[in-house]
Structure 1
Amino acid sequence: MMKVKMKLEYFIHILQQLLQDPSGSGKTTLLNFLSGRLFSENLAISGELFLNKRNLTSIEEYSNQIAYVMQDDILLSTFTPRESFQFVLQLKKSKLSEQQRNLQIQNLIEELGLQKCADTLIGGGLIKGISGGEKKRTSIGIELLTEPKIIFLDEPTTGLDSSTSLQVINILKKLAYKGMNVIATVHQPSTDLFYNFDNLLLLVQGNIIYQGRTEDSIDFFTKIGFECPESYNPCDFFMKIMNEQGFLMEKMIEDDDQQLALDEDQIKCQFQERLNLLKQNYEKQDKSEYYNQQNIEESAQILSIYKESSFWVQFILISKRFFINILRAKMSLKLQFFQLILFSFLFIIAYYNIRNINPDTQPLIYFINIRGASYFMVNAFAFQSVSQSIFTFNSQKSLYIREKATNLYRVSAFFWGKCLSEFSFQIIFPILFVFINYFIVGFEANLVKFLITNLTMILLAWHGSSYGFLVSILIPKYEVAIALISLIVVPLSLLSGIFESEQSFPIYWRVISYFSLFKYGYQAMCIVNIFYFFIFIFFFFQQIEFSK
């Protein structure tokens, strides 16, 4: 169990704050807590949080005036930066006119320097898109649309080159000069980045060892015996003295022979002594100079809470976004069409001879072939729809979690919008498959049966998608869900009734068979294409018995 205990009464009002610490020291956990996004049962949180010298009992008291840019840029790859901004603004400020929204978006694009890529797909995976720095600025822009007073950023320069990192930091500095409180965690920034921050907070194992002006940090550590060499990156120096591995390197440089005599416990003990010294010096530090009552009051003005858009507005916008996403994911559509053609090719090869069998003279052979063809159609579409829905659900899950954390829309609006878009496209492929194969293979040329077969395949595809959603919810990790899907789907296929009569199942297997999508799809196909044929077979054998 991790314990986070900090008193941050003067943390919120600073102009631009840099948090630096070794990996695993708690900076991301701290930002998650301050932004109200720390959801874990394994964390015991104690301490006090103050705003305007007022003790906050809940993060939700000021959640409407904060924004949080996470380390990973979680964006919809098939949207452009402009479209991403429009989507958020339409949900957050639905009462604004289209002209007002477009003006605000254009101003934001110019402020972030996104003019050249504003109408280029963001990209990701198989879709070519904008650069990493442009994605980061887009992520920042999405959060700025709510006009927050405080913005948290978790390692905004990670994965960016020095030039792009400096561009991002300059944007943050401009925001700070406009009165916004910018608080960012950075892991070993360059010297140029380091001095762009007004204030510095250093964390080691969840403990603050320095908080103050960035330009004063070198002198502070020099006074307590840690002198930074000239032409040395201050951040690298701080990481060295705050990190146990850095402490070990110091010992190795001081005396190789002495290092050989030190064991792991001694190293940890000596490093803990250094950490205690740093903590004691921080407690002695004069912190009163960092208070500015006027700035705190200005920073703490509560934002007007935008009226939440209606369910129908959210539903329409989310549905529209999902439709656009599906149409622009061309590689995914091509793969599904290829899968459709491949299944059709195999199906026609296997069952083409059905058309050459006369049901009047060879009723049993005809029955067996129709039965097998029906099961092939059911099996192929069930597996395809389950696996496809697992993929689409997991590819958009991170985006949903990020947007839901900002209260962008209702869960119900997202769910029904997702269902509408997914199920609408699930109609196309079953109809194409049946249209291509129904008459070629040799099913009865009956319009009613043809239409009911189409409906059966559509319902089966919807059923499979629902199973995919359920599996994705129960098994959050995509890799695990894909690995285990066969263990879930194959038993349901075996319980469909084609391999063994339901009456011979043990009672517990019979209960499970009611959850099998294969069972209902297969039985529906049999009723449509074989039910009347059973009547024919019955009279056929009755006629044989009578003739005897």
Structure 2
Amino acid sequence: MSSNQIEYSSKNEAQSKASVISFHGLKYETAFGPKRQKEQKKILRNVSGVFEPGLNAIMGPSGCGKTSLLDLLAKRRDVRPDEVSGQVLLNGREYPKCFKQLTGYVVQDDVVFGSLTVKENIIFAANLRLKTSSAKERDEIVRDLLSELNLDKCADTRLGTELIKGVSGGEKKRCHLATEMITQPQILFLDEPTTGLDAYMSYSVMSSLRQLADNRGCTIIFNIDQPRLYIYTMFDKLHLLSCFGQTVYHGKAQHALRYFANLGLICESHNNPADFFLDIIMENSDSGEVLQNSGRDNLAMKFDNDRRGDIVTSFKSDQIVVSYPNSDHDEEEVIDKKNLPKMFQDSAEALQMLSECDQILSLSQNYKLEQIRNKNKNNFSVGFILQVLFLMQRQVKDFVRNPEACFLPPIVAIASGLVCGIVWFDLQLTGTGFQNYFGALINAVMILCFQNIAAVEIFIRGRAIFMHELSNGYYSYFAFFVSKMLSDMLLMQFLPTLLFVNFFYWMAGLPSDFGIYIFSILTGIVLCMCSSAIACLFSIALNDVSMAANLMSKTLILSFLFAGLMVNIASVSKGLSWLQYISIVRYGINCLSIPIIGPANFCGERSFKLENGTTLSGNICVSGRDLLDDQDMPYKGEEKWFNLGMVVVIWAVIIIMSFGKLLTLKKRK
């Protein structure tokens, strides 16, 4: 039995709780460019390795496939079967269905709520991801995490938004890390954890990771760009990629310099190892362009055009040979560049790595994966109702702490109600009163619809957070959607609508009948909900606020156009006349006109000229129902409920479309 086998056997007890990820001959290629001009690009080429408990770093030049490798190991990238080949195993076996519950993934951007405090963000993650029934137990876990990640001092400080200054970048990154560590995952993935941080904050974050690896035995895998020396010394294992996704080195981080020194590539004492690795990879990158990980002496050929003729580039041993066969004299130029991927394949380090992979496969029965038992069919830690409640609780906090969202809509609603109330103050049932009444109701409907254009931001602003939390199993699509709709209705629709309708209704002197008043409020709320649903649909379908707002405004203008007020619907072609049946403006005006104008009588001095030329004048009363008939709004008492019901039907259809579109969004990191 070899020394490696003895070492593995002696660690069987420790490995029973450890998580080891191994990848064998991993290849990944995908298509780039327009649909008709897509080109296949190879991202990873026959990459293998083993990551054990500790800090495992993936390094290489920009565009070498570091993030792709990390995502494939973390099962966070949607790929077609024909794009990926090779094996990725957990403890020598295929990934279990509960893999995402065993792992955490910290994305490069900090996807946490800036309006919430550090502690509140972690508590939210604990509420949705921990199965412990006791709130006291959850609080204790949160308290321990705050202490372990040195977040005690800033626990009650908001993370910060564009308008509110919050915690530092390092503290925000550690807060995000805490939300992933709340489930005590066996494996933790991080996408460039030091990006955007200064030297001290980077060291603080990496020290926290080092502490987690030592105290909890976590397998921590991350990609990182050119870390400083004192950060590099924390690494346990290093995987270096070439510019073209090939393995240049895989092994213990502290042995990497010795490995390259044996190849004649010596790092100066004053040089940072991370910078040194990047330099030698870039300097010797030409050989990787055509190398397909073949073990032959004559590895690859490539052809190009030059002013002297065809250039033939070949690789013999560890040199690049450039020849010009069509020149007057057979010329041959030797470029002293090392074939680093090929040299690693032939190295003792590569043989040791492959030996480790084989031993993991043979000793897979000695690994015991801590399976997570979940009574819920959908593998969520809490049920649907609790998911909705916790989501709404967070949205209420975010709403209250956002001055623009909290105070601006009610102020705008009051101002709009006052202006409209002043313009149509104390309307009278005179001969010309119908025009004033009808104009006032049209204006009210338009304000109720257009006031929700700002709601297009409701989903776009939190899209990144939603996609990340959904991928990590915080909640279901439906729970998120229901919580958004309920919170939007209660916080953004009910109060502004109530304020506007009250100021406008009583200042304009509309009927004091309590039933009509309540129906008017109900109509206003339903109209707001419908226009908000349109905003929700565009915000889900598009990822640009200005474009979504533009399309929504055009949709409402089209609805106003086919309400029958600016054009005679009978004169419109049959191909477009059907749009009147989906016009929420048309149904909204009908809802308010039928109970308010219908029962009224408009009396005033009127003149009529007979056919014989005689003119009659006098005080004449015309019923509101007759005037509505002239506007193609046949008066019937029950018609108001029909029109309100049609708005509800349109709202329901748009809501279903919005949820359907939400389901099509791909889960991301």
- What TM-score range do you get, normalising by the shorter chain? 0.7 to 0.9
Name the residue aligned to 1:11. Answer: 50
The alpha carbon displacement at 1:358 in A equals: 3.8
Q: Residue type matched to 2:450 in 1?
A: F
Name the residue aligned to 1:302. Answer: 370
Q: Is the 8 A contact 1:314 1:409 kept in 2?
A: yes
- Note closer, same or farther for the CA distance 1:429–1:281 as it changes in structure 2 (3 Å cut): same
Name the residue aligned to 1:381. Answer: 448
Q: Residue type matched to 1:424 in 2?
A: L
Q: 1:62 aligns with which of 79, 99, 108?
A: 99
Name the residue aligned to 1:222. Answer: 261
Q: 1:279 aligns with which of 341, 349, 352?
A: 341
Q: Is the 8 A contact 1:133 1:165 kept in 2?
A: yes
The structure richer in helix per residue is: 1
- SS for the counterpart of 2:185 is coil
Partner Cα separation in structure 2 for residue 298 and residue 102 of structure 1: 35
The alpha carbon displacement at 1:541 in A equals: 9.2
Q: 1:478 aligns with which of 545, 548, 561?
A: 545
Q: Is the 8 A contact 2:523 2:591 kept in 1?
A: yes
The alpha carbon displacement at 1:118 in A equals: 0.9
Name the residue aligned to 1:252. Answer: none
CA offsets 1:55-80 (integer angstroms, 9 cap, x no match):
x2x57463332111000000112222
- Greater displacement, 406-415 / 325-334: 325-334
Name the residue aligned to 2:560. Answer: 493
- Note closer, same or farther for the CA distance 1:499–1:23 as it changes in structure 2 (3 Å cut): same
RCO greater where, 1 or 2, for CA within 8 Å and sep 6 or more? Answer: 1
Name the residue aligned to 1:84. Answer: 121
Q: Is the 8 A contact 1:208 1:279 kept in 2?
A: yes
Unpaired runs of at least 5, structure 1: 248-260
Name the residue aligned to 2:246. Answer: 207
1:416 aligns with 2:482: yes
Partner Cα separation in structure 2 for residue 525 and residue 49 of structure 1: 64
Q: Residue type matched to 2:101 in 1?
A: N
CA offsets 1:101-123 (integer angstroms, 9 cap, x no match):
11111001000111011112222
Q: 1:399 aligns with which of 460, 465, 484?
A: 465
1:293-332 pair list within 5 angstroms:
301-307=369-375, 308-332=381-405
Q: 2:181 aligns with which of 137, 140, 144?
A: 144
1:343 aligns with 2:410: no
- SS for the counterpart of 1:122 is coil
1:427 aligns with 2:484: no
Q: 1:183 aligns with which of 212, 221, 236?
A: 221
Q: TM-score with structure 2 length normalisation?
A: 0.71
Name the residue aligned to 2:378. Answer: none
Q: Is the 8 A contact 1:13 1:296 kept in 2?
A: no
Q: Is the 8 A contact 2:534 2:552 kept in 1?
A: no
Q: Residue type matched to 2:518 in 1?
A: L
Q: Residue type matched to 1:310 in 2?
A: G
Name the residue aligned to 1:512. Answer: 579
Partner Cα separation in structure 1 for residue 178 and residue 525 of structure 2: 41
- Identity within the alignment, %: 28
Name the residue aligned to 1:30. Answer: 69
The alpha carbon displacement at 1:27 in A equals: 1.5
Partner Cα separation in structure 1 for residue 279 and residue 139 of structure 2: 48
Q: Residue type matched to 2:429 in 1?
A: P
Q: 2:429 aligns with which of 326, 341, 359?
A: 359
The alpha carbon displacement at 1:135 in A equals: 1.0
Q: Is the 8 A contact 1:199 1:213 kept in 2?
A: yes
- Note closer, same or farther for the CA distance 1:485–1:109 as it changes in structure 2 (3 Å cut): same
Q: Residue type matched to 2:496 in 1?
A: F
Partner Cα separation in structure 2 for residue 6 and residue 193 of structure 1: 28
- SS for the counterpart of 2:599 is helix
- Note closer, same or farther for the CA distance 1:320–1:393 as it changes in structure 2 (3 Å cut): same
Name the residue aligned to 2:207. Answer: 170
- SS for the counterpart of 1:116 is coil
Partner Cα separation in structure 1 for residue 68 and residue 86 of structure 2: 14
Q: Is the 8 A contact 1:31 1:152 kept in 2?
A: yes
- Note closer, same or farther for the CA distance 1:358–1:93 as it changes in structure 2 (3 Å cut): closer
Partner Cα separation in structure 2 for residue 59 and residue 187 of structure 1: 31
Q: TM-score with structure 1 length normalisation?
A: 0.85
- Greater displacement, 214-223 / 99-108: 214-223
Name the residue aligned to 1:334. Answer: 407
